[in-house]
Amino acid sequence: MNEPNKKILEIKDLSIFFDISLGTVKAVENVSFDLYEGESLGLVGESGCGKTTTALTTMGMLPDNGYIHSGEIHYEGKNLAPNTEEEWQLYRWNDIAMVFQGAMNALNPVKKISFQIAEAITLHNPNINPNDVKVKIKELFKLVGLDTSRIDNYPHEFSGGMRQRVMIAMALACDPKVLIADEPTTALDVMVQAQIIDLINSLRIKLNMSMIIITHDLSIISETCDRIAVMYAGKIVEIGSVRDIIKNSLHPYTKKLIAAFPNIYGERKMIESIPGTPPNLLDPPKGCRFHLRCSEAIELCKSIEPKLVSFGDGHFAACHLLRGDANE
Amino acid sequence: MNKYIVEAKDLKVHFKIRGSFISGLLNKDDKVVKAVDGVNLGIKKGEIVSLVGESGSGKTTAGRAILNLQQHEGELKFDNEVYKFNDKTWLKNFRKRAQMIFQDPYQSLNPKYMIIDVVSEPLRLIDKHLTQSEIKDKTIQALEFAGLKPGEDYIYRYPHELSGGQRQRVAIAAVFIVSPEFIVADEPVSMLDASIRADIVKLMYEMKEQKGTSYLFITHDLSLAWLISDRIAIMYLGKIVEIGPADIISGDCKHPYTQALVSVLSNVDVDNKREKIVLKGETPSPVDLPKGCRFHPRCPNVKPKCTEEEPELRELGKDQLVACHYPDRILKFVGEK
């Protein structure tokens, strides 16, 4: 891990709300993180904690009932948050692209693969020559390790792992600088999972991309990422380097999340689960959002929300039980 | 006394694929998918055996066949008795003693049934003379065992009111209510969040400790299998390629497929990164099985003999059976790396 140089993406105090008939869902609140050039950041958390929502927002693809309540998204120094749809289209796929969750269902079953990739290329480069498109598709197929003779196949002729490769090829169609991968290996077999992780790692180095990997599986993140941000109920509770988070985790939620994964090279002991369920984000609990499930909660946790505090070397955690650097 | 609760000898499940109308006219033979192709497996009383494999390896089909939910060939014995398919009382009794936990709690519960109906259904089928209050008491007892406390709060709810973890608990309560001696658990936690799967696994373990229940635990998650089972069987293309005590996973597994599976296990431990053996390609189709060893097209250590002759399971070390012609060579091969 070489020292990252320049910030490519800067998320500042981002809050994303959804209006539904029952009220306002505060899906993401006051989330801030940076993504450096060539870096890979993992977003981890339980289902419904706002990982995918954060990612969709950085692509300008929120559903109609969702909106950015406050905060900024800086891409190469420019704030994208107030963008209109037309302005988003200049960035989406050209600069920031995404590999969507569920490769099985993300492709159109009645269109050829080549047509679907060509669609992405021609939409963003309207003046491109059709022959160049074909050349580009073949290049992309080679890049992700697929047989170039099969570009005219239909999605059902491909296996799950191959379809995931197609999704990655499609995301790379316009040479983005930032790639967001949403659960890239869920629903794949272990061996195929390993192949896809290998592919993602090698592509990142080869193309010098920055990546955000979203998953609920900490073990995958620890193999692909430089830094990890742990999210709980719409907030980042801890962020830091992979080593800091895994070996020196501070927040009680992170610790419990790590204890939920067995380690076959360690002691054979029963995994632990986290009691209770995540809070309802229509009406999040007062104070620390984790206090209802936290075994170490004190009175303070029920009333006052903890802020992210620095513990040195870019390691931040939000918990009242911890004391950060003296200057905070 | 017989120590095995279930024994399978040369268990086979073959599915015929109907060819097209034209190939029927041309008198071509139908193709056959050999989903399970000669599995030998014994599960001792009070033992948890994990059946691990990739999708399409036939692990679920094998589990269903063992529970007589699937037509099969080969000999199956339950508590030292050969399955009596024509004997209704035997079958009824078998259903009471052997149960299944399904993978997806979002699909396995009838959405129109209240929880009390879902949980008590097996009980009502087995004993038709129970009174309403007896049914209610037993349901509450089962729900509370499954961790849904207090049980009264849940019995008149519908499945859609519960979360995924709670639904899986209901499914387990419905199995537990008849106190089976043997349970096939088909990926019971694969649909659940990592934070709650430990509870479900613990629950199953508790049942084993309290009642001596035996399990066939079907999973693709090798580390979970290692954690809870006494023995692990690795399946590849319808056959068991290696079987042995759970420790072989963290220690010396011998089959190259097992070794590859272990090496690619994602691991949270950042200090213990090992070299990965990532196999190329994907599992071949079970219609056209490769000649010789089924694993040879993907094996990193293939020899001429492997393409000719199919290896049988043979004993190597204590309780460890491996189907490979060159298990010693593999050890060397890994050592050299």
Question: What one-character-per-residue DSSP string does A210-227 give?
Answer: EEEEEES-HHHHHHH-SE
State mean pLDDT over B85-95: 88
Using alpha carbons, select from A131, A129, A132, A213 the residue that is nearest to residue A171: A213
In the prediction, which pLDDT does A324 show? 59
Model confidence at A28: pLDDT above 90:
yes
Residue B146 lies in a domain: no
In the prediction, which pLDDT does A328 show? 41
Does residue B11 contact residue B62 with C-beta atoms inside 8 Å?
yes
Residue B329 lies in a domain: yes
Q: How close is the nearest chain B Cα to the Cα of A298, in Å? A: 22
Class in CATH terms, A7-95+178-317: alpha beta
SS (H, E, C) B198-239: HHHHHHHHHHHHHHCCEEEEEECCHHHHHHHCCEEEEEECCE
In the prediction, which pLDDT does A46 show? 86
Alpha-carbon distances, residue B331 vs B43, B226, B315 (angstroms): 28, 21, 16
* Of the partner residues B226, B279, B282, the one whose CB lies closest to the CB of residue A159: B282
Q: What is the DSSP string of A179-207?
A: EEEESTTTTS-HHHHHHHHHHHHHHHHHH
User: Which has more confidence, B194 or B73?
Assistant: B73
Q: Of the ranges A28-32, A75-79, A218-222, which one carries the lowest mean pLDDT score?
A: A218-222
pTM summary value: 0.84
Q: Please, what is the angle between helix B194-211 and helix B164-176, to 10°?
A: 10
Residue B170 lies in a domain: no
In the prediction, which pLDDT does A327 show? 42
In the prediction, which pLDDT does A187 show? 75
Does residue A126 contact residue A207 with C-beta atoms inside 8 Å?
no
Calculate the CA A147 to chain-centre distance. Answer: 28
**What's the pLDDT band for A101 if we cut at 50, 70, 90?**
confident
Alpha-carbon distances, residue A8 vs A38, B53, B166 (angstroms): 9, 41, 42
Q: How close is the nearest chain B Cα to the Cα of A223, in Å? A: 7
Residue B141 lies in a domain: no
Residue B139 lies in a domain: no
Which chain B residues touch A194 with a CB distance below 8 Å? 264, 276, 278
Q: In what order do the strands lie in the sheet with B81-82?
A: B31-44, B4-17, B73-78, B81-82
Does residue A187 contact residue A215 with C-beta atoms inside 8 Å?
no
Burial A198-230, CB ≥16 within 10 A → b, else e: bbbeebbeeeebbbbbbbbbbbbbbbbbbbbbb
Q: What residues contact A42, with CB distance under 8 A and at least 6 apart?
A: A212, A213, A214, A215, A221, A224, A225, A227, A228, A229, A242
Using alpha carbons, select from B283, B323, B288 the residue that is nearest to residue B34: B288
Mutation for testing the B interface, residue in A162, A241, A261 having most B CBs under 10 Å: A261
Per the prediction, chain A carries an average pLDDT of 88
**What's the pLDDT band for A267 if we cut at 50, 70, 90?**
confident
**One-letter amino acid for residue A233 of the chain:** A
Each residue's pLDDT tens digit, B247-279 = 887 778 888 899 888 888 877 777 766 778 888
Alpha-carbon Rg for chain B, nearest whole angstrom, is: 22
| Interchain proximity B268–A263, CB inside 8 Å | yes
Which chain B residues touch A220 with a CB distance below 8 Å? 266
| Gap between the Cα atoms of B21 and B203, Å rounded | 51
| Interchain proximity A273–B196, CB inside 8 Å | yes
* Of the partner residues A191, A243, A260, the one whose CB lies closest to the CB of residue B264: A191
| Interchain proximity B260–A191, CB inside 8 Å | yes
Angle (CA) A132 A138 A139, round 5°: 85
Calculate the CA A111 to chain-centre distance. Answer: 28
End-to-end CA distance of chain A: 28
Which chain A residues touch B256 with a CB distance below 8 Å? none
In the prediction, which pLDDT does B65 show? 93
| Interchain proximity A260–B276, CB inside 8 Å | no
* CATH 3.40.50.300-classified regions of chain A: 7-95+178-317
In the prediction, which pLDDT does A325 show? 52
Using alpha carbons, select from B7, B72, B63 the residue that is nearest to residue B34: B72
A241 φ/ψ angles, rounded to the nearest 5 degrees: -70, 160
B39: which strand partners? B11
Q: Of the ranges A32-36, A267-271, A309-313, B257-261, which one carries the lowest mean pLDDT score?
A: A267-271
User: How many domains, in total, are found in chain B?
Assistant: 1
Residue B152 lies in a domain: no
**What's the pLDDT band for B337 if we cut at 50, 70, 90?**
very low
Model confidence at A270: pLDDT above 90:
no
| Gap between the Cα atoms of A245 and A236, Å rounded | 13
State mean pLDDT over B138-155: 89
Residue B132 lies in a domain: no
B72 φ/ψ angles, rounded to the nearest 5 degrees: -150, 170
The helix (run of H) or strand (run of E) holding residue B92 is: helix B88-97
Model confidence at B335: pLDDT above 50:
no
In the prediction, which pLDDT does B268 show? 74
In this structure, are strands B81-82 and A178-182 parallel, antiparallel, or unpaired?
A: unpaired
Per the prediction, chain B carries an average pLDDT of 86
Report the residue of chain A nearest B267, measured CA to CA.
A219
Q: Of the ranges A37-41, A176-180, A267-271, which one carries the lowest mean pLDDT score?
A: A267-271
Mutation for testing the A interface, residue in B195, B253, B267 having most A CBs under 10 Å: B195
| Gap between the Cα atoms of A103 and A121, Å rounded | 19
Report the residue of chain A nearest B251, measured CA to CA.
A265
Does residue A146 contact residue A169 with C-beta atoms inside 8 Å?
yes
Residue B173 lies in a domain: no
Which chain B residues touch A273 with a CB distance below 8 Å? 195-199, 202
CATH of the domain at B208: 3.40.50.300
Q: Of the ranges A245-249, A283-287, B27-31, which one carries the lowest mean pLDDT score?
A: B27-31
Each residue's pLDDT tens digit, A216-256 = 888 888 888 999 999 999 999 999 999 999 889 999 999 99
Half-sphere exposure at residue B238, Cβ-oriented, CA atoms within 13 angstroms = 23
| Interchain proximity B227–A270, CB inside 8 Å | yes
Q: How close is the nearest chain A Cα to the Cα of B162, in Å? A: 11
Each residue's pLDDT tens digit, A158-203 = 888 889 999 999 999 999 999 999 988 887 888 888 888 889 999 9
Residue A143 burial by Cβ neighbours in a 10 Å radius (0-12, 13-18, 19+): middle
Quick one: DSSP state of residue A92? Answer: B
State mean pLDDT over B306-335: 77
Quick one: DSSP state of residue B3? Answer: -
Does residue A184 contact residue A97 with C-beta atoms inside 8 Å?
no
Tell me whether the omega of the peptide bond preceding residue B290 falls within 30 degrees of 0, making it cis.
no
End-to-end CA distance of chain B: 47
Mutation for testing the B interface, residue in A191, A255, A272 having most B CBs under 10 Å: A191
Does residue A74 contact residue A155 with C-beta atoms inside 8 Å?
no
Model confidence at A94: pLDDT above 80:
yes
Q: How close is the nearest chain B Cα to the Cα of A71, in Å? A: 30
- Which domain range does residue B21 map to? 4-109+181-336
| Gap between the Cα atoms of A210 and A178, Å rounded | 5
In the prediction, which pLDDT does B329 show? 55
Which chain A residues touch B269 with a CB distance below 8 Å? 222, 246, 263, 265-266
Residue A115, SS3 per DSSP: helix
Q: Which two tokens stand for residue A2?
A: 């070489």
Q: What is the DSSP string of B112-132?
A: TS-HHHHHHHHHHHH-TT--H
Which chain B residues touch A217 with a CB distance below 8 Å? 194, 266
| Gap between the Cα atoms of B122 and B278, Å rounded | 45
Report the residue of chain B nearest A272, measured CA to CA.
B198
| Gap between the Cα atoms of A31 and A238, Å rounded | 11
Contact residues, chain A to chain B, C-beta under 8 Å? 46-47, 159, 161, 189-195, 197-198, 216-220, 222-223, 242-243, 246-247, 256-258, 260-266, 268, 270-274, 277
Model confidence at B81: pLDDT above 60:
yes
